[in-house]
Amino acid sequence: MAKIKVLVVDDAVVVRRILTDALGADPQLEVTTAANGRIALSKLALFNPDIVTLDIEMPELDGLETLRELRKTNKKLPVIMFSTLTERGASATLDALSAGANDYVTKPANIGSVSTAIARIKTELIPRIKALCGVPETKSVPAPAPPSPAPAVAYPPTAAEPIEVVAIGISTGGPNALSTMLPLLPASLPVPVVIVQHMPPIFTKLLADRLDAQCEIDVKEGAAGMELRPGMALIAAGGTHMVVQRQGLRVVAQTTLDAPENSCRPAVDVLFRSVAAAYKSRVLAVVMTGMGNDGLVGCRLMRQAGAQVIVQDEKSSVVWGMPGFVAREGLAHRILPLGEIAQEIVRRVELNRASKPLAAAV
């Protein structure tokens, strides 16, 4: 198999060296570097990379300007932003994603600790590089049941009851997918929306603020004690799990610092598990673009409760990991392109709403 050619663009010598050492140690990767965006653009034709990692703050031509120049001539070359975990870095990263970057990774807080930095690169950056270049994921997942005449798991029929909440799990490619889908939901949406987007602290607050400015529904970063209400979406705060709980006639969000699940905090499975417990069958679960299989276990619980599940299709996903696992296990009622998901959410939310009252408590 031909190696994946990675162009690393960063003005810091130590960062280039660490990235070169960490990436170059993987037998599937071949690395070359550039000290700034202008040099990187000149190397594109010479090196013909399969993917680019791009620092944001650089002299002569910064990461965002480099990305915009690159996208003028190459719309498909995958680009991963390598950004700092600061408000400025988060804001610039979201700008880059809007301008055509495919994903991002935050730099280790202490880049001087070489071993820590290399470990972070191996666990966070390399899997993204391979996923965006089409290398199949090797993440371990529960082994499938042996073939038999009957299905290994017989889920109950989907309940013909009105939906009370929409729960969304999303990761790689998520900010752009959410900015495409959420603005299509009407302000009159009669149910709340809860979302896990895999992101670190700071990033989720800025993402929620940007989406709120684009959407008819209200979009906020979730915090402990916030009540779920119609026409509002809560995005789990980076670094914490978000769960929902019934308190009398209300359902509120809570946050926890429990251990990561699927190497994620927030994790989709954590949210979905709590939503299934609180709402039983009256849930629409939506799994969208993202690496890994976070959300798979949660969707099993949704189906066991009689809830509904839809997923984004492979063609419109940046990475068909999370939705792909759900689809391959037969858990999805529908597999849809990104542009049709909002319409399907509205259709399913409105279905049966006039004929059956909502449950005060389940």
Q: State whether 236 and 115 are in the same domain.
A: no
Q: Residue for token digits 């038999």?
A: 148
The answer on pLDDT for 234 being more than 80 is yes
Q: Which of 62, 85, 82 shows the shortest CA–CA distance to 15?
A: 82
Confidence of residue 114 (pLDDT cuts 50, 70, 90): confident
Confidence of residue 148 (pLDDT cuts 50, 70, 90): very low
Residues 6 or more apart in contact with residue 17 via CB below 8 angstroms:
none
Q: State whether 122 and 210 are in the same domain.
A: no
| pLDDT for residue 112 | 57
* 294 carries an active-site annotation: yes
Instruction: Examine residue 359 and state whether it is found in any structural domain, yes or no.
Output: no
Q: Which of 360, 253, 115 shows the shortest CA–CA distance to 123?
A: 115
Tokens of 308: 């509904």
| pLDDT for residue 287 | 98
Q: State whether 101 and 15 are in the same domain.
A: yes
| pLDDT for residue 157 | 79
* 212 carries an active-site annotation: no
| ∠ Cα 260 263 268 (to 5°) | 70
Instruction: Examine residue 22 and state whether it is found in any structural domain, yes or no.
Output: yes
Instruction: Examine residue 137 and state whether it is found in any structural domain, yes or no.
Output: no
Supply the mean pLDDT for the chain: 91
Instruction: Examine residue 311 and state whether it is found in any structural domain, yes or no.
Output: yes
| pLDDT for residue 6 | 98
pLDDT in tens, 314-358: 999 999 999 999 999 999 999 999 999 999 999 999 987 765 544
| pLDDT for residue 20 | 94
Query: For the chain, how many structural domains are there in total?
Result: 2
Q: State whether 125 and 193 are in the same domain.
A: no
The answer on pLDDT for 193 being more than 50 is yes
Q: State whether 326 and 218 are in the same domain.
A: yes
Q: Residue for token digits 């109950």?
A: 156
Confidence of residue 145 (pLDDT cuts 50, 70, 90): very low
Q: State whether 126 and 180 are in the same domain.
A: no
To the nearest 10 degrees (0 to 180), the angle between helices 338-350 and 174-181 is 50
The answer on pLDDT for 162 being more than 70 is yes
| pLDDT for residue 344 | 98
| pLDDT for residue 110 | 58
pLDDT in tens, 49-92: 999 999 999 998 999 999 999 999 999 999 999 988 889 999 99
**Catalytic, out of 171, 274, 281, 317:** 171
Tokens of 234: 């809560």
**CATH number of the domain bearing residue 67:** 3.40.50.2300
| pLDDT for residue 354 | 63
To the nearest 10 degrees (0 to 180), the angle between helices 174-181 and 203-214 is 20
Cα(54)–Cα(147) distance, integer angstroms: 46
Confidence of residue 109 (pLDDT cuts 50, 70, 90): low
| pLDDT for residue 165 | 98
Cα(173)–Cα(198) distance, integer angstroms: 10
| pLDDT for residue 137 | 62
Give the residue from 114, 132, 150 where a domain finishes. Answer: 132
Q: State whether 8 and 54 are in the same domain.
A: yes
Q: State whether 44 and 99 are in the same domain.
A: yes
**DSSP-based three-state secondary structure for 319:** coil
Q: State whether 86 and 176 are in the same domain.
A: no
Tokens of 276: 């299934």
Q: State whether 296 and 179 are in the same domain.
A: yes
pLDDT in tens, 260-307: 999 999 999 999 999 999 999 999 999 999 999 999 999 999 999 999
Give the residue from 87, 108, 132 where a domain finishes. Answer: 132
Tokens of 152: 């290994």
Cα(67)–Cα(19) distance, integer angstroms: 19
**Catalytic, out of 10, 11, 198, 241:** 198
**Catalytic, out of 11, 55, 103, 294:** 294
Instruction: Examine residue 8 and state whether it is found in any structural domain, yes or no.
Output: yes
* 21 carries an active-site annotation: no
| pLDDT for residue 160 | 76
pLDDT in tens, 118-143: 888 999 999 999 999 998 765 444 44
- Which residue range is the domain that position 239 belongs to? 165-350
Confidence of residue 215 (pLDDT cuts 50, 70, 90): very high
| pLDDT for residue 352 | 78
pLDDT in tens, 12-44: 999 999 999 999 999 999 999 999 999 999 999
| pLDDT for residue 136 | 73
